[in-house]
Structure 1
């Protein structure tokens, strides 16, 4: 059979193993993205449990990742150890979190110089092979050679598996900075903690549903949900479907700080800060690929901090969304950017309202009877604020002090005319998370006393207990303290 290449001179130009393997180490993996890549393989192998152990022993320190998945036969393991073991264009199963057939090798060798994999398929013998870069790069070594070697203790432990895979990283030259003066065990475990936090987020949907259990240095990893769906004040917006329903988008408006416990707020701060956590969260098969990024559609701004949007993709959109080998980058196709921009603007507009109004628009939507202390006024196109004299507590106080009503109104007018509006705006813009909540520095007993005084007045008016509780929940600033409202007696 003739070919257009029949009369062309040819010569093999295979890459040198040593230089190619060293080059593959520099694809940009961090320790946390590398570990996550190994967990992806475990998920594809139908593992229900993954154990990760950071084991400190100076230069002999190692990282061991094991799973209880299907495991591999001898031939399957050899194929898995081969760089480029599958084409990114190949059709894949829905639960396949890989794409290039490089993850096991590139992720592992980005962190260590020796990768050992031990695996057993049910009812079959244990198989084990090793990539040792010191051997590959030795002067007298040629070719892409893997070694059948493993530590005796590793063979004994892996031999007890019914099925599963163990990935071992030794000679951690990219994790342990031995040339850094004073590098210690504490530094090693700081890297481990960073990895654990990454896993809590990247695989949170697997952990939440119980599809996967991850044990990190002997302790079960808990899920961290960036959307705070367990918080009652979180506002989910309606689903948006693109590409014939294959891409699902779900926006969430997170609660204002005044609606969250200090522990929840602090945890978000520790994970990079509320400002940095806003944006899109792109998932493929429930695995987080890209976190807290507006995909080039808008810039991050402090008043958008409560906006987070989930995008769910099936894995056959990898090429269109430019999913990279590390599974840490995604970019939407031009055909979808218009729709995503519209969704973005609708979400951040609502998030800004929650941020600026301390979450009060939630109550406004529940009832038109919400009682604010301050009223926003407009006259001749100019804005100003007045104290709401119909506020239940203020109205009650004025009524009880009828003989001093004029003096009270003079005092209220003085307060209204001297509100430091420009200073408040400047401070909230510069330090948005440092503004105190109403009564934050006041003992709970004082707030409770005010609530009791107001509720007693309503009781005298003949209001039932349930209605009094509802009115307190709809009255500023008591609405910020539902836990104290629950402690009152309404009999």
Structure 2
């Protein structure tokens, strides 16, 4: 059998790998993975703006590398993705350092030092590949580029550690890119890293610190752990037939239960709707933020929509199942094995349904009959049939029933008015405004004057006492347990029979 050796052309291979789809944020996250794997407790990322000569530098205090280890790390395919890895290893393909770096820059320099050892430095430069007369088809240069020595100087005072330097940022500093654009990019990078590494930044025991231009990155936790208004947080489940895989379901508070600053923060980098779904972690490092992993109903995948915006599910997988979950080189996509999809779907269904109820009832889960069993019946009833969904004003709501009972000759006019309101609710306009604004319309007495709210409470209090036969305390209890009214306990407590005398 004749065999041919067909090695790739270096420049062509590198240029092809540049198109994998990294953003500056995901590329830097890949490099920080390497720092964590090297047992670094501190990572500093520095962006230097100098127009076309701008650079990005990542400095860590990990165990560092000697010359042989650095050379192996600079090689494409430095490790076999099929090989067993340490349980704490965040890598897989042996490509991350190179592909992430070249997705943003044409020159990659890595300098490193082990404890008690000398500084070693190697450099890839895409501008110097395939040079005429070169004796090395894959030239890996020793030392920094002339004029770049100062950018590696922090390593001289460090006992151990590594510096990764990106220069010639042709995929970042493009035509028209300004210092303002650099600042905006840094903000986007910070938001992504705060989310990707939040569990490591929050971790107990040995601290992990991450800084961008000397500013500490504050972790962003998607699950609002410990918030008193949180609608639901399940126990942590072990997934059958997948050792080491854990899942926990969360339903966040409705926006009406959050302060303005909390609302903005909880939305995350992508906003409330985009951040719903599964959060897949490997060794506490976030791989995928949101989305429903291709799970759905009747062959149709669930999409990220408004009614389920409060649903977020934490899913932890070990690094031994990367192939089963189809983790890609960018660590940005995952697909659950077929044998686990039924379990994940059941958990997701429960979470989505709870989130939908909380969303629909503005933070409160009502019983199927409409309204809490010990609260005032909801003013609106939702009716579903083969002909579609309709919305009707509840004639058995205590206040509405009492008004109709006292209406006398105006009863037929009031009923006609209610029917007119029911038939002219601007459902499509409400839905369009919600979709465009990414927020539900303000209801539930939002921003209403206190006196206006009190007038409504007095009318309902009178209906409960005079026409439903409740005692004063029974009426107050029912009001406190009614959707939309429970936020006014002090006003409800101030009600008395003298208000309706």
Match of 1:157 among 154, 157, 167: 154
Residue pair 2:377, 2:482 contacting (<8 A) in 1 also: yes
Contact 1:119–1:166, Cα closer than 8 Å, also in 2: yes
Normalising by structure 2, we get a TM-score of: 0.81
Partner of 2:379: 374
Q: Does the 8 Å contact 1:281/1:291 carry over to 2?
A: yes
Residue of structure 2 equivalent to 1:169:
166
Residue 219 in structure 1 maps to residue 225 in structure 2: no
1:367 positional shift = 7.1
* Aligned residue number for residue 20 of structure 1: 13
Q: Which moved more, 1:405-414 or 1:161-170?
A: 405-414
Aligned to 2:448: 442
Query: For the Cα contact (< 8 Å) 1:252–1:307, is it kept in 2?
Result: yes
Work out which of the residue numbers 60, 66, 69 in structure 2 matches 1:73. Answer: 66
Which whole-Å CA distance do the structure 2 matches of 1:64 and 1:78 have between them? 19
How many residues were matched structurally? 468
The gaps in structure 1 that reach 5 residues or longer are: 1-7
Q: How many angstroms does 1:271 deviate by?
A: 2.9
- Quote the residue 2:246 is aligned against: 248
Contact (CA 8 Å) 1:386, 1:416: kept in 2 or not? no
Counterpart-to-counterpart distance in 2, 1:31 and 1:291: 17
The answer to whether the 8 Å contact 2:480/2:492 transfers is no
Give the equivalent residue in structure 2 for 1:237. Answer: 234
Match of 1:478, SS?
Answer: coil
Contact 2:114 2:159 (8 Å CA) reproduced: yes
Find 2:485's aligned residue among 478, 484, 491. 478
Matched residue, 1:4: none
Q: Mapping of 1:57-206 within 5 angstroms?
A: 57-141=50-134, 142-150=136-144, 151-177=148-174, 180=175, 182-206=176-200
Distance 1:488 1:223 in 2: 42
Between the aligned partners of 2:383 and 2:7, the Cα distance in structure 1 is 76
Q: Distance in 1 between matches of 2:409 and 2:117?
A: 91
Question: 1:60, CA displacement in angstroms?
Answer: 0.7
Displacement after TM superposition at 1:40 (Å): 0.5
The answer for the alignment partner of 1:287 in structure 2 is 285
Match of 2:269 in 1: 271
Name the CA distance, whole Å, in 1 between partners of 2:231 and 2:5: 61
Quick check: 2:251–2:354 contact (8 Å CA) kept in 1? Answer: yes
Q: CA deviation at 1:82?
A: 1.4
Superposition deviation, residue 342 in structure 1 = 2.6
Provide Cα deviations, 1:182-221, integer angstroms capped at 9, x if missing partner. 3211122222222111111111111222542211122111
Structure 2 gap ranges (5+): 296-300, 466-470, 497-501
CA distance in 2, matches of 1:320, 1:41: 23
Which of 398, 414, 422 is residue 420 of structure 1 equivalent to?
Answer: 422
Q: Distance in 1 between matches of 2:443 and 2:450?
A: 13
Q: Which residue of 2 aligns with 1:3?
A: none
Which secondary structure does the structure 1 equivalent of 2:195 belong to? helix
Instruction: Give distance in 2, aligned partners of 1:385 and 1:59.
Output: 65
TM-score, normalising length: structure 1: 0.83
Deviation, structure 1 residue 26 = 1.9
**CA contact 1:363–1:474 (8 Å) conserved in 2:** no
Q: Aligned equivalents of 2:488 and 2:202: distance in 1?
A: 29
CA displacement, residues 385-410 of structure 1 (integer Å, 9 cap, x when unaligned): 3266546xx99x98xxx9x7869988
Deviations 1:74-122 (A, max 9, x none): 2211211111111001110111010011111111111101111111222
Q: Distance in 2 between matches of 1:106 and 1:57?
A: 24
Q: Give the alignment's Cα RMSD to 1 decimal.
A: 3.6
Q: Secondary structure at the match of 2:141?
A: coil
Q: Map 1:316-355 to 2 at 5 A.
A: 316-355=320-359
Closer/same/farther in 2, CA of residues 373 and 147 from structure 1, 3 Å limit: same
